[in-house]
Structure 1
Amino acid sequence: MGNTAVTVIGLGEMGRALAGALITAGHPTTVWNRSAAKADELVAHGALRAATVEEAVLASPLTLVCLLDYGASDAVLRPAAGALRGRTLVNLTNGTPAQAREAEAWATGHGASYLDGGIMAVPSTVASSQAFVLYSGQKRHFDAHEETLKALGAAKYLGADAGIAALYDLALLSAMSVMFDGFFHSVAMATSHTESSAAGFTELLVPWLTNMAQVMPAFAADVDSDAEPVLGQGLDVVLASVRNMAQASRDAGVRADYFEQSAAALEKQLAEGLSTYTAPDAVRRLRASD
């Protein structure tokens, strides 16, 4: 029967990588972008260039959208709503769970099948063993196109709620963002010493973080369990360490906002009678409205 034809709307770096992966996998690929010249290289490799969004959607049973945000995807798709009936729309635009659910309601209201997604890759790793893409929405829509979607990277279905892919996407990105903030903070501290270099310090940091990451599944098990947490540390010990990190940061001329806020939260927990620092307590503290 041949490979499913696919349309890609949005040809930024990521959109071009998605379209390129589909072409390489043998899928007839139609592309559209507001700046038409961004399709030139893809067309040279076999893609078809659509003149309008409506023409692009009508060209394939499956349309992937990868734009800046949901405002951009709404502006592009709404004028072509009539072309969606009977087709599947997969929105890989970064956005919030609420936006994903609203997009699903709008798409299904126009007769389309809808999946929302989150791309866990950078453009250069799309379609590699390092890449995976999160999907949520009705499972029958995912099942119908899973083989095609695998051309982009491992396809991970999360559930029927269209918003869960966006939730996981942003949660994963938040871990990355905080990790990089921590990296820059630690480098700022270490390089305050005249004999230190960022490269030399990072040679120590990477194996340290790699080792520490191995405890995360055990933390996760404690969060999920109703039993007494297996892992814990004295709250007074953790607080003393956080205070030291804050002071050392200030002494090095580095902002200590994060550690100062963390110390205040730990002091509050001590005042409330808690004596042990555990993963479930840490998660609850982050969820607290105050």
Structure 2
Amino acid sequence: MGSSAQAREAARWAEQRGARYLDGAVMAIPSAIGTEEVVLLHSGPEGDFAAHKSTLNALGTVTYLGADHGLASLYDVAGLAMMWSVLNAWLQGTALLRTAGVDAATYATFARQMAAGVADWLPGYAEQIDADSFPPEVATLETDARAMAHLIEESEAAGINTELPKLIKAMADRAMAAGHGGEQYPVLIGEFMHLAVAVTKVHTMAGYRT
């Protein structure tokens, strides 16, 4: 497993030596290799991908992401962020309901419906992020923050871990303090971008381009 920076460096190294480089990431467990369930991510020159696509197809379902060699690695970790976030949210809910005698299998059915419903929001939320405009079409961040507080209260009363909901609530609180309480939930993208913005500023001050 390598980083996007390492992929780009490997591409430069190969080019300097007259070689071609195509980066890839495998989104699957080893036993699934060779089946359609495997998602194979590739990035680099499109011509190089096209030349080897028939061979790569034997390993699973291939996807070409773009010319930037680092994209496969970035999509890989972005996918893992989704996976862990969904699983951790499910574990939080499972722990809460187990205190009331509800087993994990029973909650899993409901949780799956919730996850599918949230997934349907993504295209619309993505449009808001790309437009940098977050009108409250469904609910305001302030409304969501009240629900977050309710989850924390219920979790504390049940005696289960509250680190995850408190982390999310802290991010919402910072966004609201910055004046975004009347906007829709994806306005929190600003909280996730903070480190990137800080690094960009440091590089700009140092005279580097990012």
Normalising by structure 2, we get a TM-score of: 0.83
By how many angstroms is 1:269 displaced?
2.6
By how many angstroms is 1:170 displaced?
0.7
Q: Tell me the residue number matched to 1:219.
A: 125
Q: Secondary structure at the match of 1:113?
A: coil
> RMSD of the alignment, in Å?
2.1
Matched, 1:125 2:27: no
Q: Distance in 2 between matches of 1:280 and 1:184?
A: 23
Q: Tell me the residue number matched to 1:241.
A: 147
Match of 1:149 among 47, 50, 56: 56
Q: How has the CA–CA distance of structure 1 residues 230 and 252 changed in structure 2, closer, same or farther, with 3 Å as cutoff?
A: closer
Matched, 1:198 2:104: yes
Render the CA deviation track for 1:79-124: whole Å, top value 9, x for unaligned. xxxxxxxxxxxxxxx2210111122222333332111111122233
Matched, 1:104 2:11: yes
Q: Which has the higher strand share?
A: 1
By how many angstroms is 1:279 displaced?
4.7
Paired residue type of 2:114: W
Q: How has the CA–CA distance of structure 1 residues 103 and 183 changed in structure 2, closer, same or farther, with 3 Å as cutoff?
A: same
Render the CA deviation track for 1:131-182: whole Å, top value 9, x for unaligned. 2211111222112111111111222111111111101111011110111111
C-alpha contact (below 8 Å) 1:238/1:277 kept by paired residues? no
Moved more, 145-154 or 105-114: 105-114
Match of 1:261 among 148, 158, 167: 167
Q: How has the CA–CA distance of structure 1 residues 257 and 280 changed in structure 2, closer, same or farther, with 3 Å as cutoff?
A: same
Q: How has the CA–CA distance of structure 1 residues 284 and 110 changed in structure 2, closer, same or farther, with 3 Å as cutoff?
A: same
Aligned positions, number: 196
Render the CA deviation track for 1:177-225: whole Å, top value 9, x for unaligned. 11111122211111122x2211122122112222222111221122223
C-alpha contact (below 8 Å) 2:34/2:60 kept by paired residues? yes
Render the CA deviation track for 1:257-282: whole Å, top value 9, x for unaligned. 12222222322333333232425412
Paired residue type of 2:67: A
Q: Tell me the residue number matched to 2:184.
A: 278
Q: Distance in 1 between matches of 2:43 and 2:168?
A: 34
Long gaps (5+) in structure 1: 1-93
Match of 1:180 among 80, 87, 96: 87
Q: Distance in 2 between matches of 1:126 and 1:265?
A: 39
Percent identity among equivalent residues? 31
Paired residue type of 1:265: M
Q: Distance in 1 between matches of 2:136 and 2:53?
A: 39
Q: Tell me the residue number matched to 1:85.
A: none
Paired residue type of 2:26: I
Q: Distance in 2 between matches of 1:127 and 1:282?
A: 39
C-alpha contact (below 8 Å) 2:171/2:188 kept by paired residues? no
Paired residue type of 2:66: G
Q: How has the CA–CA distance of structure 1 residues 227 and 263 changed in structure 2, closer, same or farther, with 3 Å as cutoff?
A: closer
Higher relative contact order (CA 8 A, sep 6+): 2
Q: Which has the higher helix share?
A: 2
Matched, 1:167 2:85: no
Q: Distance in 2 between matches of 1:96 and 1:284?
A: 23
What are the within-5 Å matches in structure 2 for residues 55-94 of structure 1? 94=1
Q: Tell me the residue number matched to 1:139.
A: 46
Render the CA deviation track for 1:7-36: whole Å, top value 9, x for unaligned. xxxxxxxxxxxxxxxxxxxxxxxxxxxxxx
Paired residue type of 1:118: A
Radius of gyration: which is bigger? Answer: 1
C-alpha contact (below 8 Å) 1:232/1:277 kept by paired residues? no
Normalising by structure 1, we get a TM-score of: 0.62
Q: How has the CA–CA distance of structure 1 residues 280 and 135 changed in structure 2, closer, same or farther, with 3 Å as cutoff?
A: same
